[in-house]
Each structure stands twice: as C-alpha cells, then as structure tokens.
C-alpha cells in the first residue's frame, strides 16, 4: 500500500511498502520538494535488519553477514 503525504508548498512524501494496517518493516520513501528536486531512502526496522543479516550469514553475502549498508539518494 502506498501513502502520499502533502507537506504543503509543493513538497510531498510518498511511502511505499506499508501493509493494510499501516505497519512498515521495509519501506521505500520518496521526498519531492517545491523546487522539483527529489530524494529517496529505504527505511528498515531493526528486526528487518536482523533478518537480512541472518540471510547474509547463511548465503555468504556481505562477507557472510559481517556488514550491512544502506544508501540514501538525492536526485
């Protein structure tokens, strides 16, 4: 489920990945400001990060779960 929040003066946030009850464990967020520039981020709960780290440990990714990296993009 997506949720769009109008911040006024041409700015808005769109949240993608919410369940029907409004809960989020892993969501993508897009921010658009009045000058047209945009940013994006992924928001994760600590439980979701722990789940990902366990998956990495088992698969050998990220040096067998030794690290986790998340990026924020502004475009």
Q: What percentage of residues in the chain have a pLDDT greater than 90?
A: 15
Question: How high is the pLDDT of residue 34?
Answer: 85
* pLDDT tens per residue across span 61-74: 989 989 887 766 66
H/E element, 44: strand 38-44
Q: Look at 60 and 75; give whichever has higher pLDDT.
A: 60
Q: Which of 26, 33, 31, 37 is nearest to 14 (CA)?
A: 31
Question: How high is the pLDDT of residue 22?
Answer: 67
Q: Look at 74 and 19; give whichever has higher pLDDT.
A: 19
């Amino acid at each position: 489920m997506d949720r769009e929040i109008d911040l006024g003066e041409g700015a808005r946030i769109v949240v993608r990945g919410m369940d029907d009850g409004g809960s989020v464990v892993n969501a993508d967020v897009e921010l658009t400001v009045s000058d047209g520039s945009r940013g994006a981020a992924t928001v994760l709960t600590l439980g979701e990060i722990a789940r990902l780290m366990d998956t990495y440990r088992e698969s050998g990714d990220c040096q067998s779960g030794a690290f986790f990296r998340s990026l924020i993009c502004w475009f």
